[in-house]
Copies of this chain bind each other. A is one copy, B any other.
């Protein structure tokens, strides 16, 4: 990996989908000391441009607006995991030997939607005919998981809701975070109910943003006299049933377990080797569940890691130091790329909330209620 760039996440009423992508792409090029002519392919992660902007064909669109029509360019979609999935595809493209230098980015513009409303667009991540059809919203589905987890493991909401407090604490120091301020547990628990038991301040927000990274082959780096500081150690993608109703256990995302197992094996590491990570906490309960499914806590006890300070910057497994989905923000198709960018910053020593001597970092990207999970692992080049 040669470099990356991101836009601040927020309500960008003066910037369109293409503006955001181009801004992040040029930042990534500058950060990598490369020029447009070096880019052979563009991979774009996005979930809802058709529904929200009335725009498909983002490959050709972004190639055009970057000024390099001609290069290969496609969109990859895997719902809310589109960012992680597009990184996986870009990695495969370079690993195949057909492309030596690719731009991989994610973008989503959720404010200023012209076709659908955002809630209707997001629930397309679940089964349109069996779930969305009933009128279930995405937060409603996560509320089922939340309630089930509390009942099964006898955990109180205040222990789960702490994940939001954690995220906001670190977002307050992140210049590209959507909500860079701290919140108290009292404030989270007294915020409006969205879908019982989920409170407003337990939900990741709606926002606009784009993130971009440059990946190259060893050959490209050698020929251009570049010594990359970070390399991709593993990239793994797994699916699960698209709907909760088909799952044996609502409190574990088996796609996380499968993707993580594959990624750890590919990177030849164990969970305890991970120095810093970003998890896909679309809702507080998911943050807790991810800590368990990724191998850092027993089932039913992920919340303890949060409560006991084990996911803080200088603790056992520093997590979501960007502010996570909750406070950095969650522009859906871009989120997985933001996560990898955060890990890239950590491994190159330039993160806003820097972990000392971080060597290995992990980013987990989730689509739907775990219908797709991507685990990407980066490591510092020694």
Q: Which residues of A contact B (CB under 8 A)?
A: 16, 41, 47-48, 50-51, 53-61, 63-64, 69-79, 85, 88-89, 91-93, 95-99, 115-116, 120-121, 124-129, 132, 235-243, 246, 254-255, 258, 367-368, 371-372
B237 touches A371 (CB 8 A): no
Which of A58, A61, A71, A75: most chain B CB closer than 10 A? A61
- In the complex, are the beta carbons of A71 and B372 less than 8 A apart? no
- Say yes or no: A238 contacts B72, CB within 8 Å: yes
Q: In the complex the two chains form, what is the Cα distance from A367 to B56 in whole Å?
A: 10
Let me know if B72 and A239 touch, CB within 8 A.
yes
CA distance A63 to B79 in the complex (A): 14
Report the bound CA distance from A254 to B132 in whole Å.
42
How far is B98's CA from A99's CA once the two chains are assembled, in angstroms? 16
| A124 contacts B59, C-beta separation under 8 Å | no
Cβ of B125 and Cβ of A56 under 8 Å apart? yes
Beta-carbon contact of B60 and A371 below 8 Å: yes
Chain B residues closer than 8 Å to A60, beta-carbon distance: 78-79, 239-242, 367-368, 371-372
| C-alpha spacing A236/B93, complex, angstroms | 12
Residue among B56, B124, B238, B254 making CB contact with A77, cutoff 8 Å = B56
Question: Given A242-B57, A367-B57, do A70 and B254 touch, yes or no (CB 8 Å)?
Answer: yes
In the bound complex, residues from chain B placing their C-beta under 8 Å from that of A127 are 55, 61
Contacts A61-B127, A239-B60, A239-B72 given: A50-B48 contact, CB under 8 Å?
A: yes
